[in-house]
């Protein structure tokens, strides 16, 4: 790969844009951008992104399966060179927040793990544990 802008977009103390040429950092940045983009959010590429936000409205075991499916589908479609090794979803705490740990395999054989915070939601959109 080449030199690209590092994600998240930041400036150094002199006002220069932070860049990277580390292939695995570039791959990880692409993963984070994909996971944080909702399908339909990009006007010129409306199919890019994930349906994670829609999966949040599933309940119980449906939520876990829906989340796994949308992540795997988006990765296979948009970043097929990166393999999803494992997706682990913790049980929600008292406030309805769970942790989604995703392990990725990069083309050079290394792996990286990212964690996302997620919430189980009631049908009205409030988090489980919220006062309705």
Q: What is the pTM of this model?
A: 0.79
CA nearest to 35, candidates 85, 90, 92, 73: 73
* Sheet of strand 111-119, all strands in order from the earlier edge strand to the far edge: 83-89, 97-105, 111-119
Per-residue pLDDT tens for 45-62? Answer: 999 999 887 776 666 567
Q: In whole angstroms, what is the distance from residue 51 CA to residue 72 CA?
A: 11
Domain ranges of the chain: 4-119
What was the pLDDT predicted at 66? 87
Helix (H) / strand (E) containing 31: helix 23-35
Give the pLDDT confidence score for residue 2 in this predicted structure. 82
- Which one is the CATH code of 4-119: 2.60.120.680, 3.10.450.40, 3.30.390.10, 3.90.190.20? 3.10.450.40
> β-pairing, 19-20 with 97-105?
unpaired
Q: Which residues of the chain have pLDDT under 70?
A: 1, 56-61, 96, 118-132
The answer to whether residues 36 and 14 touch, using CB atoms and an 8 Å cutoff, is: no
């Amino acid at each position: 790969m080449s030199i690209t802008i590092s994600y998240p977009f930041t400036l150094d103390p002199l006002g220069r844009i932070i860049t990277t040429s580390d292939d695995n950092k570039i791959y990880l940045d692409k993963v984070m951008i994909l996971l944080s983009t909702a399908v339909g959010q990009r006007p010129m590429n409306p199919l890019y992104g994930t349906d994670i936000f829609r999966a949040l409205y599933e309940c119980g075991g449906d939520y876990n399966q829906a989340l796994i499916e949308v992540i795997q589908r988006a990765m296979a479609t948009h970043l097929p060179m990166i393999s999803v090794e494992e997706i682990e979803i913790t049980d929600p705490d008292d406030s309805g927040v769970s942790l989604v740990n995703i392990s990725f395999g990069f083309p050079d054989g290394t792996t990286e793990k990212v964690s996302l915070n997620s919430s189980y939601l009631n049908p009205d959109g409030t988090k489980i544990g919220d006062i309705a």
